[in-house]
Amino acid sequence: MKTYYSERSNEKRIHVRCNLCGSDDMKEVFTIEGSNFVQCRKCGLVYQNPQPVFSDLQRRYGKNYFEYEIENERNFFRLMLLGLKDINFEKLESGILNTSMGGARFMDIGCATGMLLSHMKSRGWITKGVELCRESAEYGIRERGLDIHIGPVENSGTESDSFSVIHFSHLIEHVPDPMALLKEVHRILVPNGYAIVTTPNFHGFQAKLLKKNWRSAIPDHLFLFTPATLREMLKKTGFEIEKFITWGGIAKGLAPYFIKAPMDRLAKLLGFGDVMLFLARKD
């Protein structure tokens, strides 16, 4: 089953170059409901081309998207906690909370309704969220008392060298300029601060098996990263990779449990999971 994606109508599209290396040499990968995916022949990055302009992209994240986020927030929160557990975040957190002068600061970009932010706040972090969907952000502000900027992070007025950890889960594949996003994250992080990046894995077993029918091959995803392309993008924007993990060997419903369970274990062990997470340190 495909991941949820937004309704689209009358969107303006523009031709773009490869966001990773700047090349304009590409080959067709597949087309999904009018969205054309290509692969850079030089570096291997997979992306939509032509791409919707940002003003049209913003309109995708409205009331319907908020309802999807509310319905699924507990499951998304559970999965984010599992990812943090896999990178031993508690140990990292303990060191930061015990040594930060004036309080450790945690930012969640694409924070949705703020469940993870609220959890981090309860653990002693000073928190800030960034969310494009106004309805989701206003819910987190109103119901959870959170500090959430509505709009892109580059418009949030955040000072340089001000956050210890910046987390963004299933966000980087949605933005039209991921290199610019990572540069902004790098600017905001304190020296030796950490970025935690989670995104679908185009090099995973399910993506290779299902191709255009893969659940993460959807019009809302402007980029489909592999471990190699995201690793290179993080390095180019000034990060050192501390940890890399994947999970999700095969989707529920595609195989019986006695096959799914060992596949999920192998995906973590061998790195062919459906979703990947990078823990990267500001160099």
pTM value is 0.96
pLDDT at 2: 86
Number of H-type helices and E-type strands within the chain: 9, 13
Q: Could you read off the pLDDT of 151-210 as tens digits, one per residue?
A: 999 999 999 999 999 999 999 999 999 999 999 999 999 999 999 999 999 999 999 999
pLDDT at 6: 87
Residues 206 and 250: beta-carbon distance below 8 Å = yes
Give 92-95's long-range contacts (Cβ < 8 A, gap of 24+).
Answer: 92/165, 92/194, 92/279, 93/123
Nearest to 58 by CA among 198, 155, 164: 155
pLDDT at 255: 85
Helix 227-236 × helix 178-188 angle, to 10°: 50
Q: From CA 262, how far away is CA 201, in angstroms rounded? A: 19
Q: What is the pLDDT along the chain (283 residues), one digit of tens a residue?
A: 789 988 887 899 999 999 999 999 999 999 999 999 999 999 999 999 999 999 999 999 999 999 999 999 999 999 999 999 999 999 999 999 999 878 899 999 999 999 999 999 999 999 999 999 999 999 999 999 999 999 999 999 999 999 999 999 999 999 999 999 999 999 999 999 999 999 999 999 999 999 999 999 999 999 999 999 999 999 999 999 999 999 999 887 888 888 899 999 999 999 999 999 999 999 8
Alpha helix segments (H runs only) across 100-177: 115-122, 134-144
Give me the domains of the chain, ranges plus CATH numbers: 63-216+239-282 (3.40.50.150)
pLDDT at 254: 82
The pair of three-digit structure tokens given for residue 16, joined into one six-digit string: 């773009």
pLDDT at 21: 98
Nearest to 267 by CA among 239, 237, 246: 246
pLDDT at 134: 98
